[in-house]
Structure 1
């Protein structure tokens, strides 16, 4: 009888100990995703372009850092006036021009977070040209911009001039990040998967002073002078990038005007095939010296400091022919892997997002709906034949300084995409003219911030699991009590 009680006590103690061990194992194995109150972080990037400056404010949940598709654009503010390079003769005004947008940007950030906000300013082709023309003036403009930024309660990280290839590469990162092309989490496979290479998009950017192309070619690159390699989310990407300085639309228009004037030396009135009939514009020949793209003296210009009046002709085919003369296609010879000026480029591949001035020009012409190339050509040709009186009446709200330029811009885009980059009737359908993905703008700024804040890791993201705090506390309490009772019962069994 006494032995039976002893065995019974030991059996109970053993059962309690076993139960506590089982509870411990189950608690360690069975975990749940934890949703903690997120801490929102912010970042600011100034895009100091050649013709204007814009501020973008981004935000993301800190508990989702290094994931994908978590950054959202909170605010976009266009700085009044021209780009900061236009203040070369009065650098303090470059800094002052940023103040209004800086104040708007800070309004979008809680005051307690403002001093932790990383703020950047990246300057592009306008400042690249100024540095080429007057390096001390460029340095002074950046110094004044820095001085202004440091007056505000943000974690200013510096102002710098991006190279053309950096601008192209960051635009490519932004495009694919916003469209969730880099990586996706598969609940079924319990791992991160890279989409097929066909889902990686190319990026086409057209600014005021430069234009960029970046994409992932097929196969390994050969003789790439313009290539970038990234390791993102555990996968490597080798992309082709190139930036063409002086081939932005504003510099193109300036070069086109100079070429037309040079073809009619000593004349004070020059026909312009791209301008609408009935439109005139008077320019000073000395204005060509304000940009490195046109400052080189031309012996054909016999009147270096006079004014010349450009008279619109509304000649669609003449406009296209004049635009094509701006490209040196003969430098490529018979090479197929060449754009113009002897620049190497592998064949375009996959789908492309065309943003910035590509989008804005085609949006005005209502050409962003996936029309065929033949339709696009017909619409552009018809637009180019319309008179200035007709256009002014049809678009009363359009900026009168911008309206006469659409014909030249559209023909330039066609020449750049078809003759230079070598898109064709079929691959044209792979170009999507788009400016936003959700609330965020395409462009280089988001990719720039993601890179500098290490928001895109080289390694694949870890799928983090955690315990619900209340369940963890209850489980620990249960385990401790169970072990205590089990040990007490076991000790008692030895005394009985």
Structure 2
């Protein structure tokens, strides 16, 4: 019997060592693989409610973060049909209803089990800023209907808000530098790192109602109202940023038309030097002066209809656009325009949104010299309406009408407004996308918000490893008892057989 027990102990010890070896292999060599099963992606939704249209951007990032900021990528972009939400001032319910098709699309992309924890935001820009100035009650009604529509979906809706001009500019700057990997980069050591000796880029944005400039200046910022501080990926950034309300393209060109009307000898006919020769349309006084950006004449006649005729005169067009700005800065002060402080532009810049579209249609976004850009635009602006329609048959009628004015407005804003020159012009890179991701403020907004989203993975890995070891210990104890008992029974049965012989 004693020999039987010794054999059982030996066999059971061998078996236990084998099981332990397998357990150690699974727990030590494969913990990362097990943890990866629990490392899921997170999603976020951001509505860009601009002055002329709204778009929904769907973002995704890993649950673990890099230096406090998630590595975010764009999954999808959905353009909302119709105008911007500020256009629904007299039909607030329409603003909410317009968002539903894009929300339906997002629900098909985000896994059902993660939808309720998906943070969802709506950021409105200059269009809603103007509506709030015009009629705060109507602005609140639009927001209420938008919130009501989004809240019907199984997402973590965190509110709709109007971004300040500085927020819009600085979030656009974050987007640009994130996409260019000047904030964080995946290194050869297979980890995310802040790149050394890398200059950040400035951001130039032109929307329908406002325009923004943001960059890291080479001198101290004198006006605290134009500075913003960010901490991203463990690094601090102090930026200059300013947003000019009413200097977005739609509002600026409306101001131009109103100025031409008020300077016109005939109060019923407007000769427009930026419209192609031969172009003609009728505009009501009510539509012309329906914006707080446009100063109405002392005795407006809303019912009056004006006839606008294009003259295609690039010289007069440029002069008329320049009159929209005040370029004087005053003594001992550097400024952009309208007396707003701005340090000298420095480094490389990305120009996007309207700045890109205004030059892209003439293939002028490929780094051409300023002289060539000027010549090309002037040639286009002398073309007749009949000729430009033949050259650009698929272009929207309104966009084609405004192409000359938009191009000259871009040059005036960048050169005389923001003080670029023939040399620094070559530092401006006109882009729409980088790595198939749209350039705008929404990605920067999402990146900044990830600082407030807790990281799950480290805790989940600890809990996973702890539970694995507990389960393995219990399992091994049970197996040890069972194997010992089994081998003891077998040994004793054989020993009884030998004794019977």
TM-score by length of 2: 0.81
For 1:223 and 1:249, locate their aligned partners in 2 and report how far apart those are by CA, in whole Å.
26
Deviation at 1:298, TM superposition (A): 2.4
2:375 counterpart SS class: helix
Q: Provide the C-alpha distance between the structure 2 equivalents of 1:33 and 1:389, rounded to a whole number of angstroms.
A: 66
Aligned to 1:36, the other structure's residue is in SS state helix
The SS at the match of 2:36 is coil
Deviation string 1:47-99 (CA, Å, 9 cap, x unpaired) is: 00000000000112224565778322111111111000011011111100101
Partners of 2:190 and 2:448 lie apart in 1 by 28
Count of residue correspondences: 442
**2:428 is aligned with 1:431:** yes
Query: In the aligned structure 1, how far is the partner of 2:392 from the partner of 2:177?
Result: 35
Change (3 A) 1:82 1:302: closer
* Map of 2:211 onto structure 1: 211
Pairwise CA RMSD: 3.1
SS at match of 1:97: helix
SS of corresponding position for 1:401: helix
User: What is the distance in 2 between the residues matched to 1:267 and 1:348?
Assistant: 42
- In the alignment, the residues of structure 2 paired with residue 69 and residue 451 of structure 1 have an alpha-carbon distance, to the nearest angstrom, of 9
Match of 1:260 in 2: 260
SS of aligned partner of 1:225: helix
Contact 1:182 1:195 in 2 (8 A): no
**Equivalent residue runs for 1:70-89 within 5 Å:** 70-89=71-90
Tell me how far apart the structure 2 counterparts of residues 68 and 187 of structure 1 sit (CA, whole Å).
20
SS in 1 for 2:281: strand
Q: Is residue 2:148 matched to residue 1:147? A: yes
Distance (Å, rounded) in 1 between the aligned partners of 2:192 and 2:50: 40
Q: Which residue of structure 1 aligns with residue 336 of structure 2?
A: 339
Structure 1 CA distance for aligned equivalents of residues 290 and 451 of structure 2: 39
Which string of whole-angstrom CA distances, capped at 9 and with x for unpartnered residues, describes residues 234-254 of structure 1?
Answer: 221110000000000000110
- 1:173 is matched with which residue? 174
Q: C-alpha separation between the residues in 1 aligned to 2:109 and 2:376?
A: 42
1:266–1:302: 8 Å Cα contact kept in structure 2? Answer: no
Change (3 A) 1:190 1:129: closer
CA distance in 2, matches of 1:234, 1:396: 50
Q: Tell me which residue corresponds to 1:323.
A: 321
Q: Which residue of 2 aligns with 1:493?
A: none
Cα distance between partner residues in 1 of 2:311 and 2:333: 35
Consecutive unaligned residues in structure 2, runs of 5 or more: 1-23, 477-501
Contact 2:53 2:85 in 1 (8 A): yes
Does structure 1 conserve the Cα–Cα contact (< 8 Å) formed by 2:171 and 2:442? yes
CA 1:414 to 1:440, structure 2 compared with 1: closer, same or farther past 3 Å?
Answer: same
Partner of 2:492: none
Residues 69 and 177, structure 1, Cα contact 8 Å, conserved in 2:
no
1:326-381: CA deviation from partner (whole Å, max 9, x where unpaired):
00123x13556111111000000111111111111211111111111111111111
Contact preservation (8 Å) 2:69, 2:450: no
Q: Is the 8 A contact 1:68 1:183 kept in 2?
A: no
Residue aligning to 1:419: 416
Alpha-carbon distance in 1 for matches of 2:125, 2:327? 26
1:305 Cα deviation after fit? 3.8
Task: Assess if the C-alpha contact under 8 Å between 2:351 and 2:431 holds in 1.
Answer: yes
Are the structure 2 counterparts of residues 231 and 273 from structure 1 closer, same or farther at C-alpha, using a change threshold of 3 Å? same
Pair 100,355 (structure 1): closer, same or farther in 2 beyond 3 Å: same
Contact 1:186–1:193, Cα closer than 8 Å, also in 2: no
SS of corresponding position for 2:110: coil
Provide the rounded CA distance (Å) in 2 between the counterparts of 1:455 and 1:362: 38
TM, length-normalised to structure 1: 0.82
Structure 1 stretch 270-279 or stretch 358-367: which is displaced more? 358-367
1:433 Cα offset (Å) = 0.5
User: In structure 2, what is the equivalent of residue 157 of structure 1?
Assistant: 158
User: CA–CA distance in 2 between the matches of 1:190 and 1:441?
Assistant: 25
Is the contact made by 2:68 and 2:232 (CA closer than 8 Å) also made in structure 1? no
Contact 1:47/1:123 (<8 A) preserved: yes
| Structure showing greater relative contact order (alpha-carbon pairs closer than 8 Å, 6 or more residues apart) | 1
- Give per-residue Cα distances to partners, 1:254-275, cap 9 Å, x unaligned: 0000000000154312210000
Partner of 2:368: 371
Q: Which residue pairs with 1:112 in the alignment?
A: 113
**Structure 1 residue 185: Cα displacement:** 5.8
Pick the structure with more helix per residue.
2
Q: Deviations over 1:166-213 (max 9, x none)?
A: 111111111111211113465579994443352x01111100000001
C-alpha distance in 1, partners of 2:234/2:50? 33
| Residue pair 1:69, 1:178 contacting (<8 A) in 2 also | no
Q: Does 1:230 align with 2:230?
A: yes
Match of 1:309 in 2: 307
Asked if 1:352 corresponds to 2:353, the answer is no
What is residue 486 of structure 1 aligned with on the other side?
none
Alpha-carbon distance between aligned partners in 2 of 1:394 and 1:378, rounded to the nearest angstrom: 18
Is the 8 Å Cα contact of residues 216 and 238 (structure 1) preserved in structure 2?
A: yes
Q: Name the counterpart of 2:95.
A: 94
2: distance between equivalents of 1:235 and 1:302?
A: 54
Structure 1: how far apart are the matches of 2:330 and 2:223?
18
CA contact (8 A) 2:282 2:307 kept: yes
Give the gaps of 5 or more residues in structure 1. 1-23, 481-496
Quote the offset at 1:438 in angstroms: 0.9
